[in-house]
Structure 1
Amino acid sequence: MLIITIVILLLYLLLIGSFAYGFDKVKTTPLEDVKAKIDFSMIIPFRNEAEALPDLLASILELNYPKHKFEILFIDDDSEDDSVKLIRSKLSKSKIDFSILHNEHHSNSPKKDAITKAISQSKYDWMVTTDADCKLPKYWLDSFDDFIQKNDIKFIVAPVTYHTTTSFLKRFQLLDFLSLQGVSIGAFGINKPILCNGANLAYTKTLFFELEGFDGNSNISSGDDIFLLQKAIQKYPNKIQYLKSESAIVKTIPQHDFKNLVSQRVRWAGKTSSYNSLFGKLTGIVVFVMNGFLVCSPLLYLANFISIKTLLYTFIIKFCIDFLLLFKTVRFFNQESYLASFFFSSFLYPIFSVYVVFISVFKGYKWKDRTYRK
């Protein structure tokens, strides 16, 4: 059993260590004052987001980018609240070019349907996607414009984090989410991109149609971001980059309670079996096995398969390598103060992650007042 423990630990160390190394290989991109050149079509699907929309709309009104160089396509997915009314009341008096489309369902993924419809009706070639529960930084579009002008690219992945983390549950989510952001950045640094987030993504319309959009994964309710990334990597591996810029950080909100948190994470986990990336699947397996081992280790100790010393060393080593990657990540996002919750979270995370994986295998989930089944 000791040999198995060492093998699992070494694989985990190698994996997370490579992400920590790759994190520094992705250079931070400073925003420079250049003349705006790129025209953007901003895509924002929404469903019953009246509570979150005021923050998004306020941040849109504060965008620094020239108003005549972008449009916003909101896609209403059968909202039953005042979302549509709110958007019109906030933006109708501004000079922003916006439209509200009604979603048409053609697949098992309403969000993919919404994005596809918006792209088909967009005016410009560069699409920028975000979510209705986000806050956009003032120089968001400026950051994309500057990056596109300086690089020959077709697909851009950009940073996302949480705000309003006022409870331990929300701080736990933040640290979990930032660990995924660290993996996303680190994977780009070792030329093995595996993660992205649709709350902050940009790609060309030309590329979207060349990749035939979401064909091939429209039966999966989530994954409008990662599956498109994987298709882009297969076609243009050298035309995809990560925009590591503080000026491009989009902020979203964590889930309000544990039930919604589990539903969200089950939704995320449910698509991993359909990944095309072997490295992505390997990453998921190694992380799951490491966490599964820690969850089972008290029983293994009681059954005399491992010693308490082995258990303690394993946890300490995992804690240290996790902390290294997370420290780099929180420093980039300027959220170092939340590291105070990491020690207690590190005990809970293996249990939580294993629980989510098992739930995702055997059960569906509820999201945006809709039920999705396995």
Structure 2
Amino acid sequence: MLNIIFCVFVIVVILQLVYYLGIFGKFSFAKPQTITPKRLSVSIIVCAKNDAEKVKELIPVLLSQNYPDFELVLIDNASSDETLDIFEEFEKQHRNIRLVKVENNEAFWGNKKYALTLGIKAASKDYLVFTDADCYPTSPDWITNMTSQFTLNKTIILGYSAYEKQAKSFLNKIIRYDAVLRATQQFAWAKIGRPFTGNGRNLAYKKDEFFKRNGYINHMNILTGEDALFINDAAGKKNTAICYTPESFTYGKAKKTFKSWAKEKRKAAFTASFFKPFDRFQLKLFTLLQAAFFILMIMLLVLQFNWMFLVPVIVVRYIAGWITMAQSAARLHEKDAVYWYPVMEIIIIFTQLYVYVANLTSKPVHWK
């Protein structure tokens, strides 16, 4: 019986090595990215709802972008605070701001996809770059770097959105490690021609891509995933590229409590349940393999399986995973997020288990 368990354990480890070295390695061990600036006409799209304090800080940062031809499309999604007033004040002062005022209606009450659709239709430029009210680009060359990856064929660009570091916060390291893991999955699958998701906090695509697929029509009734589900629907091997130069990153504040972070994870898991079948399969398989590795390893250790066979398998697996994730973290300027890699893995697995059980009993609360 022990030999059978060990054989299953070896198969699990081999499959994990395929993920870490064969798939994730496509991004983790890729060469540093270079850019060739392009002079494309760009609309920056920002959709906000009751984010007065955040947009007050964000808009000056976006307006200071070192780019020759861009407009800023500000979408107020029926805010009840001072967001619209702040937008109107900036609009008076800057000619390259286009304001879209969204009023609630019975069919699309508070629907962010509806608000974004109005904003995209109002945009006058051919290329769209998206970010959210709760994050910001750290470089004045953010647009330059994101648009540098556009070509005649590559009309969807996936960017990286990081979280600010918080001193003496272990939860912050967990959240940032989780962001590195998700970005590694996202970028690696895109590099091998199977892009499956994007992050609306840092995303770009040609406006034609939106209208070719009738916008969000395939998932308009799902009140989340305006970024992930659209990319899952629209992205493919031929039309998608990634951008991971440091100047292309955006940053936001990480959640301060495990409860609020878990809520965010629940939304992401709920959204992923509507992905294409293969994408759902590969994500679930990776999580299942992670859990199986720890369960089988503990079983074999407790049952005192021959350590001369067991230990080398465990060591090889940890070396492969740690090196792969360390390379990815270094590329994304998150080196300290993988110092506690084995502990991070266990925490992420238990968090995923909690998310799965929680989503079985109730749907997560959607975008405000």
TM range (shorter): 0.7 to 0.9
For residues 211 and 34 of structure 2, the distance between their equivalents in structure 1, rounded to whole angstroms, comes to: 31
1:285-341 CA distance string (max 9 Å, x none):
22221233256458856995x859588777655543332232122211222233334
Residue 240 (structure 1) shift: 1.4
Asked whether the equivalents of residues 158 and 242 of structure 2 are also in contact (C-alpha less than 8 Å), the reply is yes
Distance 1:291 1:84, change over 3 A: same
Instruction: Give the 5 Å matches for 1:64-143.
Output: 64-66=66-68, 69-89=69-89, 92-102=92-102, 104=104, 106-107=107-108, 110-136=111-137, 137-143=139-145
CA RMSD of aligned residues (A): 2.9
Partner of 1:9: 13
For residues 52 and 12 of structure 1, the distance between their equivalents in structure 2, rounded to whole angstroms, comes to: 41
Distance 1:337 1:291, change over 3 A: closer
Asked whether the equivalents of residues 70 and 97 of structure 1 are also in contact (C-alpha less than 8 Å), the reply is no
The residue type paired with residue 23 of structure 1 is: F
Asked whether the equivalents of residues 297 and 311 of structure 1 are also in contact (C-alpha less than 8 Å), the reply is no
For residues 295 and 41 of structure 2, the distance between their equivalents in structure 1, rounded to whole angstroms, comes to: 53
The residue type paired with residue 281 of structure 1 is: R
For residues 367 and 234 of structure 2, the distance between their equivalents in structure 1, rounded to whole angstroms, comes to: 28
The residue type paired with residue 348 of structure 1 is: I
Instruction: Give the 5 Å matches for 1:350-369.
Output: 350-369=349-368
Residue 82 (structure 1) shift: 2.7
Asked whether the equivalents of residues 40 and 127 of structure 1 are also in contact (C-alpha less than 8 Å), the reply is yes
The residue type paired with residue 20 of structure 2 is: I
For residues 16 and 298 of structure 1, the distance between their equivalents in structure 2, rounded to whole angstroms, comes to: 18
Asked whether the equivalents of residues 71 and 97 of structure 1 are also in contact (C-alpha less than 8 Å), the reply is yes
Asked whether the equivalents of residues 263 and 365 of structure 1 are also in contact (C-alpha less than 8 Å), the reply is yes
Partner of 2:27: 23
The residue type paired with residue 340 of structure 1 is: Y
1:104-162 CA distance string (max 9 Å, x none):
564588221121111122212211111111111310111233333x5532211112211
1:195 aligns to what SS in structure 2? coil
Instruction: Give the 5 Å matches for 1:325-336.
Output: 325-336=324-335
Partner of 1:204: 206
Asked whether the equivalents of residues 155 and 209 of structure 2 are also in contact (C-alpha less than 8 Å), the reply is yes
Asked whether the equivalents of residues 108 and 218 of structure 1 are also in contact (C-alpha less than 8 Å), the reply is no
Asked whether the equivalents of residues 180 and 334 of structure 2 are also in contact (C-alpha less than 8 Å), the reply is no
For residues 295 and 333 of structure 1, the distance between their equivalents in structure 2, rounded to whole angstroms, comes to: 27
Instruction: Give the 5 Å matches for 1:311-322.
Output: 316-322=315-321
Partner of 1:165: 166
1:15-67 CA distance string (max 9 Å, x none):
122233211575543244x5x6211121111122234334422321321112x
Asked whether the equivalents of residues 12 and 293 of structure 2 are also in contact (C-alpha less than 8 Å), the reply is no
1:183 aligns to what SS in structure 2? helix
For residues 172 and 233 of structure 1, the distance between their equivalents in structure 2, rounded to whole angstroms, comes to: 29
1:161 aligns to what SS in structure 2? strand
For residues 311 and 145 of structure 2, the distance between their equivalents in structure 1, rounded to whole angstroms, comes to: 45
1:76 aligns to what SS in structure 2? strand
The residue type paired with residue 259 of structure 1 is: K
The residue type paired with residue 76 of structure 1 is: D
Distance 1:351 1:316, change over 3 A: farther
Distance 1:24 1:339, change over 3 A: closer
Asked whether the equivalents of residues 13 and 293 of structure 2 are also in contact (C-alpha less than 8 Å), the reply is no
For residues 277 and 71 of structure 1, the distance between their equivalents in structure 2, rounded to whole angstroms, comes to: 38
Question: Greater shift after overlay, 90-99 or 54-63?
Answer: 90-99
Partner of 2:187: 185
Partner of 1:225: 227
For residues 101 and 81 of structure 1, the distance between their equivalents in structure 2, rounded to whole angstroms, comes to: 14
For residues 314 and 104 of structure 1, the distance between their equivalents in structure 2, rounded to whole angstroms, comes to: 58
Asked whether the equivalents of residues 21 and 189 of structure 1 are also in contact (C-alpha less than 8 Å), the reply is no
Distance 1:16 1:361, change over 3 A: farther
For residues 170 and 248 of structure 1, the distance between their equivalents in structure 2, rounded to whole angstroms, comes to: 22
- Is 2:268 aligned against 1:264? no
1:221 aligns to what SS in structure 2? coil
Asked whether the equivalents of residues 160 and 244 of structure 2 are also in contact (C-alpha less than 8 Å), the reply is yes
Distance 1:346 1:207, change over 3 A: closer
The residue type paired with residue 57 of structure 1 is: I
Asked whether the equivalents of residues 6 and 300 of structure 2 are also in contact (C-alpha less than 8 Å), the reply is no
For residues 129 and 347 of structure 1, the distance between their equivalents in structure 2, rounded to whole angstroms, comes to: 33
Asked whether the equivalents of residues 41 and 73 of structure 1 are also in contact (C-alpha less than 8 Å), the reply is yes
Distance 1:352 1:292, change over 3 A: same
Residue 189 (structure 1) shift: 2.3
Question: Greater shift after overlay, 162-171 or 261-270?
Answer: 162-171
For residues 320 and 264 of structure 2, the distance between their equivalents in structure 1, rounded to whole angstroms, comes to: 26
What 5-or-longer segments of structure 1 have no aligned partner? 370-374
The one of 43, 52, 56 equivalent to 2:45 is 43
2:256 aligns to what SS in structure 1? coil
Asked whether the equivalents of residues 75 and 101 of structure 1 are also in contact (C-alpha less than 8 Å), the reply is yes
What 5-or-longer segments of structure 2 have no aligned partner? none
